[in-house]
Chains A and B, each alone.
Chain A
Amino acid sequence: AQSVTQLDSQVPVFEEAPVELRCNYSSSVSVYLFWYVQYPNQGLQLLLKYLSGSTLVKGINGFEAEFNKSQTSFHLRKPSVHISDTAEYFCAVSVNNAGGTSYGKLTFGQGTILTVHP
């Protein structure tokens, strides 16, 4: 079975500062990796995903993430955050079976609350 660990439960930063939200996963098979964002009282929205190919993935709202297979990590970064980035961020993993088709079942980390201060 796979698992996801988000190393920081809360990350406070000032506006226009860079931020990194950390995510590590464990799995005995290859996986797909995702970052979702949840704004207050809303559902989850996909930020970006890694399926294959380039290990640096760019997503919406200026976010990017880098897949590091040797360190089993998928950290999320943004060079300059805005107040509007305040939200909870979830890292998730989905098993990629031998045929290359995801089973589709997501396992989520516990979430990281990003708070951007003026």
Chain B
Amino acid sequence: DAGVIQSPRHEVTEMGQEVTLRCKPISGHDYLFWYRQTMMRGLELLIYFNNNVPIDDSGMPEDRFSAKMPNASFSTLKIQPSEPRDSAVYFCASRYSGDNEQFFGPGTRLTVL
């Protein structure tokens, strides 16, 4: 299996622009998680889905952030409008409900100028 796939790996954008991050979970996994990693706040869970349904979005920082999972093999995290403080590495992870291990993607490094 190719593992969790994220795109793009790096994104540089200007303040105010819309940013869309993409994730393809491992086939057969029914949980999907979005995390943000910064030096100041460490690893934070933003939102997670089970069977494509959002279960807990309490970690989403504000209304500028939104996430969707239209099918079992694709999810997006959108920031609109982006701000410099959104600069971070965003990780996607997936898990099979019959196991306890989350598998992480390589991350998207976002820089908002």
Taking Cβ atoms with an 8 Å cutoff, the residues of A that contact B are 32, 34, 36, 42-46, 49, 51, 90, 94, 101-102, 104-111
Judge whether B100 and A49 touch: CB under 8 Å: yes
Q: Given the complex, which residues of B lie within 8 Å of A94, measured CB to CB? A: 100
- The reply to whether A43 and B42 contact each other, CB–CB distance below 8 Å, is no
From DSSP, what is the main secondary structure of chain B's interface residues? strand
CB < 8 Å neighbour of B42 from A34, A45, A104, A108: A108
User: Given contacts A46-B103, A104-B48, could you give 18 more A-B pairs where the C-beta distance is less than 8 Å?
Assistant: A34-B100, A34-B101, A36-B104, A42-B106, A43-B4, A43-B105, A43-B106, A43-B107, A44-B93, A46-B101, A46-B102, A49-B100, A94-B100, A104-B100, A105-B45, A106-B33, A106-B102, A108-B43
* B29-66 near A? 1/0 per residue, CB < 8 Å: 00101000000001101001010000010000000000
Q: Which residues of A contact B43 (CB under 8 A)?
A: 90, 108, 111
With A110-B42, A111-B42, A111-B43 known to touch, is A105 a contact of B48 (CB < 8 Å)?
A: yes
Query: What's the nearest-Cβ distance from chain B to residue A14, in Å?
Result: 26
When the two chains form the complex, which single residue of B31, B100, B104, B107 contacts A45, counting CB atoms closer than 8 Å?
B104
Whether the pair A49, B104 counts as a contact (CB closer than 8 A) is: no
CB contact list, B92-113 vs A, under 8 A: 93, 95, 97, 100-107
B17-32 interface bits toward A, Cβ cutoff 8 Å, 1 = contact, 0 = none: 0000000000000010
Is B100 touching A102 in the complex (CB atoms < 8 A)?
yes
Q: Which one of A36, A104, A105 lies within 8 Å of B97 (CB-CB)?
A: A104
